[in-house]
Chain A
C-alpha cells in the first residue's frame, strides 16, 4: 500500500515536471520572472499616490494586470487592487483607455 502511494506521489511530481518542461519548449529559452515585485523590493504598503509604482501593473488598456502574468503574490495583488482603484478615483490612472 505504502509503496503504491509513494509511486503515485512520484507520478504526480513527474507530471509537474512535464508541465515545467513544456513551457520553455513552447516559448524558446525564456525563463519567466515569477517573483512578486513587492516581496522582492520589500514594499509593505502599496501607496495609491505613487503612480510610478503602480504603472508597471497597468497595461495599455488600463486594466489591472492579472497575477499569472505579473507574478505578484496573492497578498500583494489584493493590496495592489485597492491601490489602483483609489488611484483611479483620483484620476491618477485611467479607468479605460481606448
Chain B
C-alpha cells in the first residue's frame, strides 16, 4: 500500500546548468525511481523562469516538475540526492494522492447532489451546455436587478 503513494517533485536547476546537465538530473531521478520499483508518471519542464526572489546568487532557474508513484523510502532517497546536488538550488516534494482523492470525492458528491436535485425538479440529471449558460445569465440579471438597474 505504501508503494502506491503519488508524489509531486519540483526542482529548480541553477541557470548555469546546461541542457545536458538538466537531462542528466532527470535520468538520475529516473534511475532511483526504477531502483525502488516506482513509476515516473509525468515530467514537465517549465523552462527558464524568473525567480520571485534571489536564491543564493541565482535570479532565474529552470523548473522541472515530476509526478512519481512509489514508496516514501524512495522519496527519501530522491530528497537526499537532490539536497546533495549542487546544481539544484531548490526542490520540493509534495504527496498529492490524498489531496486528489479528496478533490475527486468532493466533485463526485457535488455531481450527485446536482443530479438528485435536478431529478427532484423533474429534469434530466445532466444539464445540457446551453442550459448551464442560461442559468448563469439568469443569475446575472438577478444581480443587476438588486443593484437597481431597471431591467424589469
Interface residues of B in 99-129 (CB under 8 A from A): 99-100, 102-104, 106-107, 110
In chain B, positions 23-73 with a C-beta closer than 8 Å to chain A are: 51-53, 55, 61, 63, 65
- Chain A residues near B61 (CB-CB < 8 A): 91
B53→A95 contact, CB < 8 A? yes
A94→B63 CA distance, assembly (Å): 16
| Cα A89 to Cα B103 with chains together (Å) | 23
Contact B147 A45 (CB under 8 A): no
Give the secondary structure class of B's interface. Answer: strand
Does B17 belong to the interface (CB within 8 Å)?
A: no
CB 8 Å contact bits of B84-111 with A (1 = contact, 0 = none): 0000001010100001101110110010
List the A side residues contacting B51 at CB < 8 Å. Answer: 91
Bound-state CA distance A86–B107 (Å) is: 24
Chain B interface extent, by class: 20 to 34
Residues of A within 8 A of B102 (CB): 44-45
- In the assembled complex, the CB of A66 is this many whole angstroms from the nearest CB of chain B, namely 21
A40 to chain B minimum Cβ distance, whole angstroms, is 11
Is the pair A49, B100 in contact by a Cβ cutoff of 8 Å? Answer: no
- With beta carbons under 8 angstroms apart, the residue of A31, A44, A92 that contacts B103 is A44
- Of the listed residues A42, A90, A93, the one surrounded by the most CB atoms of chain B closer than 10 A to its CB is A90
Contact status of A45 and B53, CB under 8 A, knowing A86-B92, A90-B10, A91-B90: no
Chain A interfacial residues counted at CB < 8 A: 15
B82 on the interface (CB 8 Å rule)?
Answer: no
Q: A86-B94, A90-B12 are in contact. Are A44 and B107 (CB under 8 A)?
A: yes
Nearest A residue (CB) for B58: A91
B92, B107, B147: the one contacting A89 at CB < 8 Å is B92
Known: A42-B110, A91-B52. 19 other contacts (CB 8 A): A31-B147, A42-B107, A44-B102, A44-B107, A45-B99, A45-B102, A45-B103, A49-B10, A86-B92, A89-B90, A90-B63, A91-B12, A91-B51, A91-B53, A91-B55, A91-B61, A91-B90, A92-B52, A94-B53
